[in-house]
A and B are shown apart, each in its own frame.
Chain A
Amino acid sequence: DAMVIQNPRYQVTQFGKPVTLSCSQTLNHNVMYWYQQKSSQAPKLLFHYYDKDFNNEADTPDNFQSRRPNTSFCFLDIRSPGLGDAAMYLCATSRDYSATGASTDTQYFGPGTRLTVL
C-alpha cells in the first residue's frame, strides 16, 4: 500500500500560471518535506514541516509556498512558475528527526510530481 502519495504524477502549467502540488501520507509522521530535483541533480530541500512548524530553507525562492492543513496532507504552491521551475518535486516524510532515534530519521519518499512549464 502506498504510504506517501503525490498528486498529480505529471503536471503541465503555463509560464506564470499558479500551480499546486499535493502530498498525502498514511504513516502519521510528524515531519513532511518538499524537495526539488532537476535532471541529473541532487534533490534540493525547499522546506519542511515539523508538525505545524514551518521551516523554510534560506535559499528557497519566495515563489514557493507550502501549506499543511493537517498531519496527513501537505501542499506545494508555486505562485508564478518560470521555465527554471520545471523539475521533479518530491515529497518525503519521517516520523521524527531526533538524533537519538535509530529508526525515526528514515525518510519515506513519494513517487514525485514531474512539473513541466510551457
Chain B
Amino acid sequence: KQEVTQIPAALSVPEGENLVLNCSFTDSAIYNLQWFRQDPGKGLTSLLLIQSSQREQTSGRLNASLDKSSGRSTLYIAASQPGDSATYLCAVRTNRDDKIIFGKGTRLHILP
C-alpha cells in the first residue's frame, strides 16, 4: 500500500531564506507526483506536476525534483516571502491501482 510522508509537519523560516520541503513515498510505481499549496480554510492550488519520467520541474521561485527510485521528492523555494506561508502537500498517482495518495503536508511559516 502506497504511503506518502512529509517531514517536518511544520517549519518556520526567516524571510529571504531558501528552503526545501521533503516528500517521500513507499512505492516507486507512480505515474506522477504533484505539489500543492493550501491556505488556511481554502482549497488546494497546484504548484508543480512531475511525470515519472522527469527529474524536475520549475516555476518561478519553485523547483520540484523527483527521484523515483529512492521514493523522494523535494520542493525548493528560493528567497522565501511571507506570502509563501501556507501548507504544502505532495500527492502521488500510483500506477498499480491508479489512485492519488496525499501526504499530510508541511505547514510553512515565513517570519517577516
**Which residues of A approach B to under 8 Å, CB–CB?**
4, 6, 33, 40-45, 57, 88, 90, 92, 97, 99, 102-103, 105-112, 114
Instruction: Tell whether B51 is near chain A: CB-to-CB under 8 Å.
Output: yes
Q: How far, in whole Å, are A109 and B35 apart by their CA atoms in the complex?
A: 13
> What are 17 pairs between A and B in contact, CB < 8 Å?
A4-B43, A33-B100, A41-B104, A42-B101, A43-B44, A43-B102, A45-B99, A57-B99, A90-B44, A99-B31, A105-B49, A107-B34, A107-B44, A107-B46, A109-B44, A109-B45, A112-B41
Contact present for A107 and B100 (CB under 8 Å): yes
Q: Is A109's CB under 8 angstroms from B105's CB?
A: no
- The reply to whether A111 and B42 contact each other, CB–CB distance below 8 Å, is yes
Chain B interface (Cβ < 8 Å from any Cβ of A): 4, 31-32, 34, 36, 41-46, 49, 51, 89, 91, 93, 95, 98-105
Q: Which residues of A contact B31 (CB under 8 A)?
A: 97, 99, 105
Closest 4 CB pairs of A and B: A42-B102, A109-B44, A109-B43, A111-B43
Query: Are A42 and B4 in touch, CB under 8 angstroms?
Result: yes
Hey, which chain B residues are within 8 Å of A43, CB to CB?
Answer: 44, 89, 91, 102
> Given A105-B49, A109-B44, A112-B43 in contact, is the A42-B103 Cβ separation under 8 Å?
yes
